[in-house]
Structure 1
Amino acid sequence: MSLVINHNLMAMNANRNLGSAYNSLGVSTRRLSSGLRVGTAADDAAGLAIRELMRADVKTLNQGIRNANDAISMIQTADGALGVIDEKLIRMKELATQAATGTYNSDQRLIIDSEYQAMASEITRIANATDFNGIHLLNGNLSGANSAHNGNGLTSTGPVKVHFGSGNDSAEDYYYVSINTSTASALGVGLAANNSISTQALAQASLDKLNNAIISKDKIRANLGALQNRLENTITNLSVQAENVQASESRISDVDVATEMTEFTKNQILTQAAVAMLGQANGMPRMAMQLIGG
């Protein structure tokens, strides 16, 4: 290399190497301080795209878990109310058995029937009053017998749609919770169903109706129990999915601290060396001045 004064090529070369090392040092510093290997699209364009999709899936799966837990709470609310209705039906059957015997007179049966009808009214009140977050559960609004789910309006109608997946596939991402009507008339007991125990014959006939009512109520509770178990299994599966997707996202996005610290140290040494050599190169033109002066 010739000794010239118009251009300091060694300084230019040292400056270029310094810029490269300093930029690499900045990248390592950003990665170590943020914990992310992919901080910008320039770091890994394809990896960034995959990471963002995975992040969306993780958020969606975690929300799906919350949705399923909310549905379990709703089912437990309905089942708790049906447990109270169960107590009323058992008491009504006890009263019907009492009125069916011949040792009571008509006035006494009317008194027994008064309590019987009060129990039926309470069943209807419980069915109409039981709600979860404003959604009535036992009054027939969620029954799938007469209508399907319709979510086109501001207020959905029909069975409750529990959405837990990241897509919109009915076979994978959601299913419905349907709860049949549990009022006294729907169960076939009480005055609303033309049912009374005011006479011995009516009391005997009521025993069959009460058996059917208890069976109908048990079917509703059994269906709710099966749905709760299904939702709990869904939550377990969603949790495993979210964990594995999060692990995959981490492998793409997160920085390997040990590897990056090695890069940081290397770039730090290169930067320091480049600064030292740039200082030396900037002093080279003075050698030409010595020749001119001589």
Structure 2
Amino acid sequence: MLAIKNNIMAENAARQLGLSYDALAQSIERLSSGLRINSAKDDAAGLAVRELMRADIAMIQQGARNAQDGISMLQTMEGAMAVIDDTLIRMKELAEQAATGSYSDQQRRIMNNEFGELRDEITRIAQRTEFNETSMLDCASGSQTIHFGVDSGGTASSVAVSTVDVTATTLGITSAISLTSTSNAATALTTVTTAIKAKDSARASFGYNMNRLEKSANVLGIQAENMMASESRVSDVDVATEMATLTRNQVLSQAGVSMLAQANTMPQMALNLLR
């Protein structure tokens, strides 16, 4: 119907054009962001699921970094213990050397001086071995908890790495232990052997904790990959489908502009009939 006062055709064309523009803008937003869900209005339930997944992914990735930090800490402790190990081996060698009667007292004093220096070096290494400003080898009563997320039941996953005290005094190699005589050297030999066994026990715990953390870091990496794949399926845009939608909306928008222009001429056509 031709009318002068109300142009219903133009109103309808304008409304349809607005819808086409909104759909076109949404397609452009999705393609430019790479996401199917950019706000709650796109998919409220999907957005909630995606955000929960993103939180879990962030937690898992941080847990993997925590595990790697724990491995670095254990490697630091292991490296220091390796030096202490070599030092104890040299001390045992000196004790065995001094225990034989073929050396003079003067020669034993020279051996004893080296023995004392090595004893002090063990204590120095133990006291100076730190990770993130935390002493690791001169504190037997402490522990460091390496936390790497929670399981599906909400239970925390962690490894408690015990700090140890491997200073010379704690290992039993006090200043009273000397190589000044064959009998003293024999006592020192027994003491150093006991110290090596105590050190080996502590060092072994580093090994199995390191293995556990390495396996945990690998598992966490796989979990993060799987979770990211799931999150992608929920929120990422299907580029091929969205490009088809974009093209359709572009055509509709262009057609809408043309039809609106045509509809706006209808009142003028009605006026022409009155002339």
How does the TM-score come out when normalised to structure 2? 0.93
**1:10-29 counterparts in 2 under 5 A?**
10-29=9-28
Q: Name the CA distance, whole Å, in 1 between partners of 2:179 and 2:108.
A: 7
Q: Point out where structure 2 has 5 or more consecutive residues left out of the alignment.
A: none
- Cα deviation per residue 1:209-257 (whole Å; 9 max; x = unaligned)? 2221111111111111111111111110111111111111111221111
- Cα deviation per residue 1:162-192 (whole Å; 9 max; x = unaligned)? 122158x99543221113211111111231x
State which drifts further: 265-274 or 201-210. Answer: 201-210
Residues 1:231 and 2:213 are matched in the alignment:
yes
Are the aligned partners of 2:150 and 2:156 in contact in 1 as well (CA < 8 Å)?
Answer: no
Are the aligned partners of 1:31 and 1:255 in contact in 2 as well (CA < 8 Å)?
Answer: yes
Counterpart among 201, 209, 228 of residue 246 in structure 1: 228
SS across alignment from 1:274: helix
Residues 1:259 and 2:241 are matched in the alignment:
yes
Residues 1:202 and 2:184 are matched in the alignment:
yes
Counterpart among 154, 168, 176 of residue 184 in structure 1: 168
Kindly tell me the number of residue pairs found equivalent between the two proteins.
275
Are the aligned partners of 2:147 and 2:156 in contact in 1 as well (CA < 8 Å)?
Answer: no
CA-CA distance at 1:196 after TM superposition: 2.2
Which consecutive segments of 4 or more residues in structure 1 shift more than 6 A? none
Q: Name the CA distance, whole Å, in 2 between partners of 1:170 and 1:78.
A: 31
Q: Point out where structure 1 has 5 or more consecutive residues left out of the alignment.
A: 147-157
Identical aligned pairs, as a percentage? 51
The alignment yields a C-alpha RMSD, in angstroms, of: 2.0
Are the aligned partners of 1:116 and 1:190 in contact in 2 as well (CA < 8 Å)?
Answer: no
* Corresponding position of 2:196: 214
Q: Name the CA distance, whole Å, in 1 between partners of 2:114 and 2:236.
A: 69
Q: Name the CA distance, whole Å, in 2 between partners of 1:40 and 1:232.
A: 38
Give the 3 Å change call, closer, same or farther, for CA 215–290 of structure 1 in structure 2: same
- Cα deviation per residue 1:66-92 (whole Å; 9 max; x = unaligned)? 222122111111111111111111111
How does the TM-score come out when normalised to structure 1? 0.87
Q: Name the CA distance, whole Å, in 2 between partners of 1:62 and 1:211.
A: 44
Amino acid at match of 2:109: L
* Corresponding position of 1:290: 272
